[in-house]
Amino acid sequence: MFDFDLVLPRSVDIREVGMRDGLQLEAPVPLEGKLAMLEALVATGVRRIEATSFVSPKAVPALADADAVAAELSRWPGVHWSALVANPRGAVRAVDSGVADLEYVVSASDGHSRANAGRSTAEAVAAVGEIAALAHGAGGSLEVIIATAWDCPFDGRTPVGRTVDVARAAVTAGADQLCLGDTIGTTTPLRVVTLVDAVRRACPGTAVGVHFHDTRGTGQANALAAVQAGVTQLDASVGGLGGCPFAPGASGNIATEELVYMLEESGVHTGLDLDALLAAARVTEEAVGHELPSSLYRAGGRSVPRSAEARR
């Protein structure tokens, strides 16, 4: 016997990023396939979906149909839709397409910033104000996602102070909330809690979410550590799809169905239906044309005891 309390929130808010981060490394999926994925994802009960990214079609051909996807989102009025942008031009495209809730990526490391966006971190931060103004002018919001918040594939470990400085500058320039990205899946629970605490102290009153990759098998552990630290906004991708095309070795995100399974079985309400998530994973697998990395999906969901007849 032992006395141990696992302190967890009553509920969390999961954002589904499979439509953007999940597909950006894939061969282009036809619009019909993407709409089938969206239909299946909405059926899970998810309240927030990152629908697409308004970036250069040459850089990310899998998302070249961002405008066409955005034009279909009114089919599902109960979902909070957002889109990622890489610069003010992308923000204008998104707003003109009817998506006013924007995500803008700023890499905490110069090496990844130059590979991902062709400019330094300081130059990327300098655009936050303009993008925030575009989002706010359209009645939307701006979330700054800080990529390579813990580690960079080019520059190595990102100092905590550097990520904190980017966070503070983004909020000062007009960001409504922040998200810390483990772009190459290298961080660990203690480092997660340390950085989350530092960013919160620097930006009091600003919501801080997390975006983990499971490249080295620590994604779920990091998510649990973040939730224990009070984080209630987490990103996940159906089937564990995803990765960054400009970060060597950045494989899939944490799988939405695995995150939901872990949290719901721990008494944390997500509002997402696990069976519907498995169905969405099947639709996604068909759309991308290959097996998904999610262990839970391959296992078929929750364990179901076999009947006495089945054991004979």
Active-site residues, by number, are: 244
Supply φ then ψ for residue 18, to 5 degrees. -65, -30
254: tokens are: 């944490």
Distance of CA 88 to the CA centre of its chain: 21
8-state DSSP, 290: S
Contact yes or no for 38/256 (Cβ under 8 A): no
Q: In whole angstroms, what separates CA 51 from the centre of its chain?
A: 11
Helix extents (H) in the chain: 31-42, 66-70, 88-96, 110-117, 121-126, 128-137, 160-173, 189-202, 219-228, 256-264, 274-288, 295-299, 308-311
User: Strand, helix or coil at 243?
Assistant: coil
Query: Greatest CA separation found in the chain?
Result: 68
Q: How many residues does the chain have?
A: 312
Question: Which helix (DSSP H) or strand (DSSP E) does residue 179 occupy?
Answer: strand 177-182
What is the rounded CA–CA span in Å between residue 14 and residue 280?
A: 15
